[in-house]
């Protein structure tokens, strides 16, 4: 452990990122000149393994070696919980700001292809966070060509301080990231360091023809991936490239109804109708399976009620509280699983149908899916998903097409 701490540093992280193919040679200078440690606070909660779990607090004051080792590891670092309300040493309820996983943000910068921008083109970043990503963009393009929008005023102030200490001066604007920043438009590139459930129409309005948008995009049901869109004639379209797990844009966080709103004071199974299924609830739980289901099934979410011995019940809920379903998973059981469904919609049937569609197409990965976005007269963008062929798209969250 001590030897790892001694080796921790920007060169070791850069070598690992280059070897992984995330850090490209044209970004090496910015990476070296804008070290991550200048943008990380004294108190952090490092991610564990794949970044989907949170580790305990690491304090630079109490353990500088562990802090530096975390900073120069390829992991996300949570820097704020519960929109700043959390002040303790333990884990908060909801992580709300971070220094993102270096491998992911470096790959996104490569996707952005700033080398292909027109001379004098500008970049809009949504989600300033600690300012590290905006700093690298400013180092490469010049501060006057980078605008970064951050919703949390306190986070923005800290980021500005970090950037100034690094000798960098991109424009940092406090505002709603969905609205972009009209005063800096048009933009040649737009990048989001928070995930969205829909690409805002204002981004398309503020993007010039030929612009590139790179953003983590996730469904309401679950699953998330990086999408790279090219804007032509007010329409943005492009493929997904890789799995991701970013914090949601605050205005895109889901407001879930309380579970009590579904059974309405009755005991399960209430008025639910029973059936059995050959589809294991566990098969629907992978990140890509959730993504595929969410592309085709509208307005539902899930939770797992777990029991001793590894058994659990998968609960499905409709956003309007009018329908629910359960599917029991019993390890080492037979090939059938019990399902109970209630309400106007048969939610398990819908999930089963969407999973079956994905399965029949060979369980495609994220890279075979794509997204097409077009701004509507209402100002809200219309989103269509596609598999392999943009010409065969369907509205996101609709039950179709089949085949």
Full set of structural domains in the chain with CATH:
2-102 (no CATH), 104-252 (3.40.50.150), 260-360 (3.30.160)
Q: What's the rounded mean pLDDT across residues 352-377?
A: 95
Q: What's the rounded mean pLDDT across residues 117-139?
A: 97
- pLDDT interval class at 317 (50, 70, 90): very high
pLDDT value at residue 377? 66
Q: By CB neighbour count within 10 A (0-12 exposed, 13-18 middle, 19+ buried), where does 205 fall?
A: middle
Q: Does 378 have pLDDT greater than 70?
A: no
Active site residues: 100
pTM score of the predicted model: 0.94
Locate 29 and state its tokens. Answer: 């200078």
Residue 255: strand pairing partners = none
Round to whole Å and give the CA distance between 62 and 56. 13
Round to whole Å and give the CA distance between 174 and 176. 7
pLDDT value at residue 399? 63
Among 22, 138, 124, 130, smallest CA distance to 76 is for 130
pLDDT value at residue 5? 46
pLDDT digits over 18-37, tens only? 999 999 999 999 999 999 99
Do residues 337 and 279 make contact, with C-beta atoms less than 8 angstroms apart? yes
Do residues 311 and 254 make contact, with C-beta atoms less than 8 angstroms apart? no
């Amino acid at each position: 452990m001590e030897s790892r701490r001694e080796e921790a540093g920007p060169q070791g992280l850069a070598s690992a990122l280059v070897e992984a193919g995330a850090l490209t040679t044209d970004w090496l200078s910015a990476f070296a000149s804008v070290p991550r440690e200048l943008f990380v606070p004294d108190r952090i909660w490092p991610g564990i393994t794949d970044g989907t779990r949170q580790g305990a607090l690491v304090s630079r004051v109490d353990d500088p070696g562990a802090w530096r080792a975390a900073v120069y590891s390829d992991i996300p670092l949570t820097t704020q919980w519960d929109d700043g309300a959390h002040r303790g040493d333990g884990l908060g309820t909801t992580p709300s700001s971070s220094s993102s996983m270096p491998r992911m943000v470096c790959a996104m910068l490569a996707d952005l292809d700033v080398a292909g921008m027109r001379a004098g083109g500008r970049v809009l970043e949504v989600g300033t966070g600690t300012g590290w990503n905006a700093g690298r963009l400013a180092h490469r393009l010049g501060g006057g060509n980078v605008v970064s929008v951050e919703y949390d005023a306190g986070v923005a102030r800290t980021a500005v301080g970090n950037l100034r200490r690094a000798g960098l001066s991109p424009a940092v604007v406090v505002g709603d990231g969905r609205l972009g920043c009209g005063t800096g438009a048009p933009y040649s590139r737009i990048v989001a360091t928070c995930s969205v459930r829909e690409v805002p129409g204002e981004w398309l309005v503020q993007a010039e023809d030929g612009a590139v948008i790179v953003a983590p995009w996730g469904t309401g049901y679950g699953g998330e991936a990086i999408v790279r869109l090219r804007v032509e004639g007010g329409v943005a379209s492009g493929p997904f490239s890789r799995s991701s797990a970013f914090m949601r844009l605050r205005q895109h966080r889901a407001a879930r109804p309380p579970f009590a709103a579904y059974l309405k004071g009755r005991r399960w199974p209430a008025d639910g109708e029973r059936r059995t299924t050959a589809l294991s609830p566990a098969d629907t739980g992978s990140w890509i399976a959730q993504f595929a289901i969410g592309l085709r099934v509208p307005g539902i979410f899930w939770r797992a009620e777990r029991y001793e011995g590894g058994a659990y019940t998968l609960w499905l809920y409709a956003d309007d509280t009018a329908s629910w379903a359960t599917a029991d998973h019993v390890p080492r059981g037979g090939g059938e699983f019990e399902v109970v469904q209630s309400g106007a919609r048969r939610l398990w049937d819908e999930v089963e149908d969407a999973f079956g569609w994905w399965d029949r197409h060979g369980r495609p990965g994220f890279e075979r899916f794509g997204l097409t976005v077009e701004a509507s007269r209402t100002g809200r963008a219309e989103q269509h998903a596609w598999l392999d062929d943009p010409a065969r798209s369907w509205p996101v969250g609709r039950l179709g097409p089949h085949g």
